Amino acid sequence: MRLALAQLNPVVGDLAGNAERILQACRQAAAASADLVLTPELSLWGYPPRDLLLLSGRLQDQEEALAALAAALQEETLPVAALVGVAEPCNDRSLPNLHNAVALVEPGRYRVVARKQLLPSYDVFDERRYFRPAAEPSLLELERRGRRWRLGLTICEDLWVEEELQGQRLVGPDPIAALAPLRPDLLLNLSASPFSLAKPDLRRQLAQRAARRLGCAVVYVNQVGGNDELVFDGAGFVIDGAGTVLCRLPCCREAVTLWEPSGAAGRTGFGLPALQQEASPELPDLEQLFRALVLGVHDYAAKCGFRRAVLGLSGGIDSALVAVIAAAALGAQQVQALLMPSPWSSQGSIDDALALAGRLQIPTHTAAIAELMDSFSHALTPVLGEPPAGLAAENLQSRIRGTLLMAVANQQGQLLLSTGNKSELAVGYCTLYGDMNGGLAVIGDVYKSQVFALCAWLDSPEAAACRRELGLPPGGELVGKAIRRKPPSAELRPDQRDSDTLPDYALLDPLLESLVEQRRSVAELVAEGVDGALADQVMALLRRAEFKRRQGAPVLKVSGQAFGSGWRMPIAAR
């Protein structure tokens, strides 16, 4: 039997369009003499469909899409079947009334052949709102090429059962243990697993453990693409019964590739960008992170109907990184940079911003804000009894800039990209209705120390191939030493530095990672030697800034715990 692993990028809710994407993969698979096409979890809907699942009429739309896909396979005489992720109605009055399921679509017919047993309801996941868990494992028997194949089927979380590897696991059955007595020839896992830096290695370890437990190869197919704040990296693979990786699909791009369970190596890909096993090496962490951010911006813009983007370019490292990401995602000529210098902006920062834009070939415009600052001060003096000063005056500068950026975005139909990093969002070192304005917070899940590391990598020879592939200038500095070595500053008052207000990022970021990603308490950290006053200060800032984060733009999730749908802290709380 010859399998086609279809690493697809669906549009959430576009049932007809996603069915057409699956059909195209089936056409390519049939042309390459494949027998079975594997698609990701809920591939007909795109993941996560969220409350689209609750809308009246959408399940009928699903039935029509499945029927059309089966009819097309028959009409075009395509001798191939596809495993397609669907939402299966339970046909009773109990809630939830759906299964997260897989349908086998063949020429002229389709049927459900697998249902998900473990339903995640942590972090960004909320599957128990929509689905009920299956009670039994799923085994599909198929006759292909003179042999009857026993295919174990699991859906995403069903593979995540190794508490030793994960540190924890969902309460519920062990789908791998339940499949063992059924002696499958292959285990197929259809996933929609969002990206984070630790995920690819952990997925492989889980698959290796399952392969050893079942004594068979594991085929892992993952969704790729950005959907709202989530980025799916694809990065599918095949692992044999001994735990050896036989085939690896690329990170952060669509691919359809063949693999034969006979033990032969993965064949060349087809249709979508051709894939050879040796052409998809495991990428360094920083390249994975950069590609995920580029993919997230590209798909957020494309799927929301934006062709162009605008951002404020300050000459600082955060806006520089966002400019590079935007140029790679949309093309340099589709990105506009607005410089908005104040009396406190250094000439060096202005020069650095213009130099960066020149290297990227991004068009720029300048709108100085000194006169606007004076106008606001004049208007507010009678109200306040004195001119705005201190933090109020500093925030006014940010809000003036935010207003100008929103006006440009509205007038020109552009997506405004927010440039704040995770460290700033965590401690509230950002301004509501100012630098937080935007339709997407590109690096809102990237700590400041990671921003520096990403920019250093981008300027290194190691990034040349990635830069070339993504349409960026392949040689020489991109961000530039002047920006990378500049002390971080918002430049909202004379000689301002981030370090005037915040701990050094080398101290702050590890502490934030403990408090945010690991949900650790101040007491635990102090017991391990963290300075108590510092831990209390950072925790107080983190809690106080919750109301800001609640009103911010969607944050592209690239860590284990991002601010957004997976962070559900109350605002009014102790």
Catalytic residue annotation: 41, 116, 156
| Measured distance CA(193)–CA(233) in Å, rounded | 8
Instruction: Report the amino acid identity of residue 230.
Output: L
| Measured distance CA(510)–CA(38) in Å, rounded | 40
User: CA nearest 210: which of 243, 256, 166?
Assistant: 243
Rg over alpha carbons for the chain, rounded to the nearest Å, is 26
| Measured distance CA(11)–CA(363) in Å, rounded | 30
User: CA nearest 204: which of 184, 220, 223?
Assistant: 220
Residue 275 Cα distances to 271, 288, 494, angstroms: 10, 18, 54
Instruction: Pull the structure tokens for residue 125.
Output: 């996941």
Angle between the 347-360 and 317-330 helix axes, to the nearest 10 degrees?
A: 20
Cβ-proximal residues to 565 (8 Å cutoff; 6+ apart), any chain: 124, 229
Asked whether the CA dihedral 502, 504, 509, 510 is positive or negative, the reply is negative
Instruction: Burial-class residue 523 by CB neighbours within 10 Å (0-12, 13-18, 19+).
Output: exposed
